[in-house]
Amino acid sequence: MNRPIVVGINGSAGSEAALAWALQRASRHKLPVIALYAVDDRWMSPDFQYHEIVRESGMELLQKVQASAREQAPDVEVETQLRHGSAGAALREASKAASMLVVGAHDRHWLDGGPMTDRALQVVSASDSPVAVIPPTPGTGGHGVVVGVDGSEESLQAVSFAAAEADRGGDGLTVVLAFRSPARWVENELPASGLAATIVEEDRVVLAESVAGLGDRYPDLVINRRLETDTEPAKALVGIAREARLLVIGSRGRGAFSRLVLGSTAHSVLLHVPCPTVVTRLHKVKHDGG
């Protein structure tokens, strides 16, 4: 059974870009698409006159989305759904049967809630499937797939996903491990410790282990390993992926608290999405286009 790609719709430029990206992916992978709009009417009384107006507005939006999708990708089966409640809850429920969720990146206008209430962050945190976050202007000239690693199980799954994506698209794969070196005063307090050099060497091993076996699975895949030794991981990933077709990151890394569903690196990257970015989930691996 081909699990659909679910796209969150809200009428913004970001959701239009998300729909276009999802349709392209669905066409390549022969998958259906569900365009979902949530009417957050929890604060309304059923008898309130605006309740039906809001619902009708949502239906009109989905009709426009259906027409746009038919024009952009006539070969893709597209279903529209109007759900009630918060967008995050609706998309989380839909993710249980999806190969992937696709949402638009936040435009960072404070009047729309600002980064602290970014819907993309909420969706990524709650989703049961991988989530693609698409910037309003994803561009058309991107090439290559970039993936962030840190040795965690989450990042190894991200590498597996990214390698398959790169191989299918004929792209090169850039595997990035980044960390900030210890402060000089810390190094100075440990005479002849060689702490920084030890960390670099250990991370070289982690980087090598992260790509072990990929050459056997994908003999034609060109793999570039990058070790960034004096920068924050999110900053490195955003910078390197600016011209990429796709960035892939795990939902959590080795530094994340176990109670958190979204690590600090993923959180920071999603506030500055450089290109279409997929956040993989550890607990559910999909092989049918997600």
Nearest to 163 by CA among 215, 237, 226: 215
User: What percentage of the chain reaches a pLDDT higher than 70?
Assistant: 76
CATH number of 5-134: 3.40.50.620
For the segment 139-161, the average pLDDT, to the nearest whole number, is 88
Give the H/E segment covering residue 280.
Answer: strand 277-280
- Residues of each domain in the chain carrying CATH 3.40.50.620: 5-134
Tell me the pLDDT of the chain averaged across its residues.
Answer: 82
Summarised one tens digit per residue, pLDDT across range 173-215 is 999 998 866 545 444 555 555 556 777 778 889 999 999 999 9
- Residues of each domain in the chain carrying CATH 3.40.50.12370: 145-280
Architecture per CATH, 145-280: 3-Layer(aba) Sandwich (3.40)
The answer to whether residue 262 scores a pLDDT higher than 70 is no
Contact 99, 11 (CB under 8 A): no
Say what the pLDDT of residue 256 is: 43
Give 50's Cβ-side CA count (13 Å radius).
7
Nearest to 37 by CA among 6, 81, 69: 81
Q: What six digits make up the tokens of 83?
A: 């759900």
**Percentages (nearest 5) of helix, strand, coil residues in the chain:** 40, 20, 40
For the segment 7-28, the average pLDDT, to the nearest whole number, is 93
Say what the pLDDT of residue 102 is: 95
pTM across the whole model: 0.84
Summarised one tens digit per residue, pLDDT across range 119-144 is 677 788 788 899 999 998 765 568 99
Highest mean pLDDT among 6-15, 16-25, 280-289: 16-25
